[in-house]
Chains A and B, each alone.
Chain A
Amino acid sequence: MVTIAIVMAIPVIVILGFVLQPFNENWQHLLDNLLLEYISNSLLLMLGVSVGVLSMGIVSAWLTASCEFPGRAILSWLLLLPLSIPAYIIAYTYTGLLDFSGPIQGQLRVWFDWGYGDYWFPEVRSLTGAICMLSLVLYPYVYMMTRAAFLEQSISVLEASQTLGDSPLKGFFSVAVPLARPAIITGVSLALMETLADYGTVQYFGISTFTTGIFRAWYGLDDSVTSAQLASLLLTFVVVLILLERYSRREAKFHSVASKQKGVQRFQLTGWKAFFAALACSLPVIFGFIIPALQLFYWTITTADQSLNKDFFGLAMNSLVLATLAAVVAVCLALILSYAKRLLSTPLVNGAVTVSSMGYAIPGTIIAIGVMLPLAWFDTVFDGWLRSTFNVSSGLLFSGTLFALIFAYTVRFLSVSIQAVDAGLSKIKPSMDDAGRSLGLSPLGVLKKIHFPLMRGTVLTALLLVFVDVLKELPATLILRPFNFNTLAVRAYEMASDERLADAGAPALMIVLVGIIPVILLSRSIANTHIKSNNVPRNFGISLQKSVVTP
């Protein structure tokens, strides 16, 4: 257990270790010219995304949780769909749509007979653009957490505020939002973690942030020390967010006034009110999912004859193998950790599980560098030793191999599988083990006859969740992939970087389509079980609960 935790913590420890290294002249250069820009851009991005996800997330959560209007039921799960689109992919689609050469501007020029420079049009590839893109795909975190909190709130609290003279809308601001505050903060901190981790969008839009800075130091300057030092600075931002998230999750327990009331009473909206409610909930779906998905679909069709060739299936195969391997490793480790926690719940084991599940908050870039540096060091030392003693070369054993990639994915996504496995395992009450024993099963028999059939669905879910996350992960893959080894995400990134957006369509669409599966699972489990706001994990790490356990 402890070994797993230590291995999982290696990347972060390595990164932090570099703070102690002497700063070199590149760092001085950074300090003089770029660091301020990195920090201010990252902060502006975080600020903008907070505003974006809060406004979209809270409004849609409240409307779908406490009001009744046509289309509410379907919208309440459609609102989750943007989660399936990675930020860099939505950035490509809107660039394609809104660029100078895109269909929108082109049509405007035709209609008004404008030429280049005759008119002003908002520039997508800007900080504001990046804020919009990230907000559009990250608001579901706030939506999901806040909605769960609103549903959990006892209706009588709102009614109490009305008997004390508040209108429904005023009650929303004076009672519902303050009560949901911990859930809202958790949602925002999750969205901000993703914002900090983003590389694809900011790189494509040419915005200098920490992640692009790390890449520049790593590839441009070939200076691993400086990039690790930048990474550790980014890590401090992340730690603040982790603390914020932990704190608000704890807080949420005190704020939950859950009473076991069945059937939520919703305000019936009619006429123009209902229309605006439906509109407010449709806009995030239209802009966050439907338009980008249609654009990807269009690109895929127009380029089908060239893009859907043997090459493409090779890519898909690479992605498939990689994601499957990482999912299997992560889920096996999660099973070991979760069972250890169940059988011997000592502080040491619990601590090991906590450490092992920290990876979700840490940007892929940091993990990739934290994995690369020690492996490369080991390879060099081992190779040197072989050469000097046996006069043979081992070549690169770990760095630049699939091992490094899978290690990094496991660090990053282990928490997703731990959460899913934990949720499934918690449904098998200890008394069921005892019941099996008293009915004549050996401990192994209990595992076979009771745990295996009950955990099958859970394990599949956990596998799927890690699989999809790996498929979407871009920065870690870019840094760690073996030479000439491409995945769908990398191909989409490369095509977009070469300004061949249409060719990025097919791999991107593939990622989005697979990404929809966990969103559907998530919305089903939300529909089936009443999820407490402080139990809604990140990255859809929710087991299918009832829908899987009950045949």
Chain B
Amino acid sequence: MSVLELKRVNLAYGKQIVVKDLSLSLGDGEIACLLGPSGCGKTTLLRAIAGFKSLHSGRIESSGQVLSSSTHTVAPEKRRIGMVFQDFALFPHLTAGANICFGIRNQSNRERQQRRSELLELIGLPECEDKYPHELSGGQQQRIALARAIAPKPRLLLLDEPFSSMDVELRNSLAREIRSILKHENITAVMVTHDQHEAFSMADQIAVISNGELLQWDNAENLYHSPENPFVAHFIGRSNFLKGIVCGSEVATVLGKLNYKIESGLVADASLQGQQVDVLIRPEYIQITHDTEQTAELISRDFQGGCYRYSLRLQSGEEVQALLPSQANYQLGDSIGIALSADKVSIFAQDQKRR
């Protein structure tokens, strides 16, 4: 039985629907991520799961128990759902240790102490027990907030943009650390973020949300290599779209013929043959080669350490981006021979590139 089950959830502010018909389910110990641009409704959805927002329609269930429906909302304090807040929301009048014990204040003294030292050990901050939140750094506050949320052993943990106030380096190391803590404790968790790298390093399953709609619910690899939808293709990673024409089991582009797989907006029937489609080309599909007639002009480049990101103008006038090793040193205006190397590319109906 799934730890979290959303069934056709609709959320609204007044008359404005901000989350539409969203369904997904999450198994025991899985870490999920709600990913989307700001204002897409992901934080509202998280607050609905926590019980701070009631549903317009639909249901939220956990292990068979209905937590929210359009008529009934179980109070947040009765849900056994922990939450880590964007600004941590540590209680400034309590020490780190007392903050951690806040949710288990009904347990016996001994149990509390044991759980507290266990968690402080787990998050690697045993020396911070008696410090007040303002004496801790951002990363330490973050970990105390996490320990506080998981101390009562919640059935589900929610994290609201947990790394947004950190600098980039801290983000990556904390994300890895927190993932290992959650896995160690076998905690089912849902995280909200707008940063795909955070989502990739934390989550088992990612829900891409735009304008309140769930576009794809999948793992990171599938989101990257077979986005079901042009928005997902654009939002995840860097992407180029080339025009192509379907012929047989292949699609013909200016860079040659490739195998394809069909995504949303297209139907695999006879009418597909000869149809103009958009073909998703990831930058790393493009390779340099000398034995080709297909050349492209280098119009800008961006040094990124191990590689250059080139913008190339094809003979057809279309522009693509490519990631190429930085040893190969081309100058602006050079003509470079390129070819595609990919097993299968995703194709989309034209005219529906962006939503």
Contacts and interface: CB of A to CB of B under 8 A. Distances in A.
Q: Specify whether A and B are partners.
A: yes
Interface of A: 427, 429, 431-432, 434-442, 445, 450, 453-454, 546, 549-551
B85 interface: yes
A454 B91 CA distance: 9
A438 B93 contact: no
B102 A439 contact: yes
Given A432-B89, A434-B83, A453-B93, 7 more contacts: A427-B92, A434-B52, A435-B85, A442-B75, A546-B134, A550-B132, A551-B132
Contacts of A439: 77, 82, 102-103, 148-149, 152
Nearest to A427: B92
A429 B77 CA distance: 18
Given A438-B50, A438-B149, A442-B77, A550 B83 contact: no
A454 B92 CA distance: 8
Contacts of A441: 77
Nearest to B102: A439
Contacts of A434: 50, 52, 76, 83, 85, 89
Given A437-B76, A550-B132, A431 B89 contact: yes
B86 interface: yes
B82 A438 contact: yes
6 contacts: A429-B89, A431-B86, A435-B91, A438-B82, A438-B149, A551-B132
Given A440-B103, A549-B92, A435 B83 contact: yes
A439 B150 CA distance: 10
A438 B132 contact: no
Interface string B245-288: 00000000000000000000000000000000000000000000
B81 interface: yes
Contacts of A551: 93, 132
Interface residues of B, number: 26
B297 to A, nearest CB: 43
For B85, B134, B148, B149, which residue has the most chain A Cβ atoms within 10 angstroms? B85
A450 B77 CA distance: 15
A517 B52 CA distance: 42
Interface string B70-98: 00000111010111011101111100000
A438 B92 contact: no
Given A453-B93, A550-B134, A438 B81 contact: yes
A434 B90 CA distance: 11
A439 B90 CA distance: 12
A444 to B, nearest CB: 11
B160 to A, nearest CB: 8
Contacts of B82: 438-439
Contact of B77 (A431, A440, A454): A440
B300 to A, nearest CB: 33
Contacts of A437: 51-52, 75-77
Contacts of A450: 91
Interface of B: 50-52, 75-77, 79, 81-83, 85-87, 89-93, 102-103, 132, 134, 148-149, 152, 158
Q: Which 8 A-B pairs have the closest CB atoms?
A: A439-B103, A431-B89, A437-B76, A435-B89, A431-B85, A438-B83, A432-B89, A440-B77
A76 B50 CA distance: 49
A235 to B, nearest CB: 40
Contacts of B76: 434, 437-438
Nearest to B106: A440
A422 to B, nearest CB: 17
Contacts of B91: 432, 435-436, 450, 454
Nearest to A435: B89
Contacts of B83: 434-435, 438
B89 A550 contact: no
Contacts of A453: 93
A454 B93 contact: yes
A432 B169 CA distance: 27
Contacts of A442: 75, 77
Contacts of A440: 77, 103, 152
Contacts of B149: 438-439
A123 B51 CA distance: 73
Nearest to A430: B89
A459 to B, nearest CB: 14
Nearest to A551: B93
A431 B92 contact: no
Contacts of A549: 92-93
A436 B81 CA distance: 12
Nearest to B78: A440
A528 to B, nearest CB: 11
Contacts of A550: 92-93, 132, 134
A438 B77 CA distance: 5
B15 to A, nearest CB: 17
B287 to A, nearest CB: 46
A445 to B, nearest CB: 8
Contacts of B50: 434, 438
Contacts of B52: 434, 437
A392 to B, nearest CB: 55
A429 B93 contact: no
A429 B87 contact: yes
Contacts of A445: 77
A434 B149 CA distance: 12
A427 B134 CA distance: 13
A550 B90 CA distance: 13
A442 B90 CA distance: 18
A388 B158 CA distance: 71
A500 to B, nearest CB: 51
A287 B11 CA distance: 65
A431 B152 CA distance: 19
A322 B166 CA distance: 51
A1 to B, nearest CB: 22
Contacts of B93: 453-454, 549-551
A546 B133 CA distance: 12
Nearest to A546: B134
A429 B90 CA distance: 10
Nearest to A453: B93
B266 to A, nearest CB: 44
A390 to B, nearest CB: 54
A100 B340 CA distance: 104
A435 B91 CA distance: 9
Contacts of B89: 429, 431-432, 434-435
A77 B136 CA distance: 30
A494 to B, nearest CB: 47
B36 to A, nearest CB: 21
A546 B134 CA distance: 10
A431 B87 contact: yes
A229 to B, nearest CB: 48
Contacts of B148: 435, 439
A432 B85 CA distance: 9
A435 B75 CA distance: 13
A436 B158 CA distance: 14
Contacts of B51: 437-438
A53 B195 CA distance: 53
A91 B151 CA distance: 63
Contacts of A431: 85-87, 89
Contacts of B79: 438
Contacts of B152: 439-440
A439 B158 CA distance: 12
Nearest to A441: B77
B308 to A, nearest CB: 35
For A427, A440, A453, A546, which residue has the most chain B Cβ atoms within 10 angstroms? A440
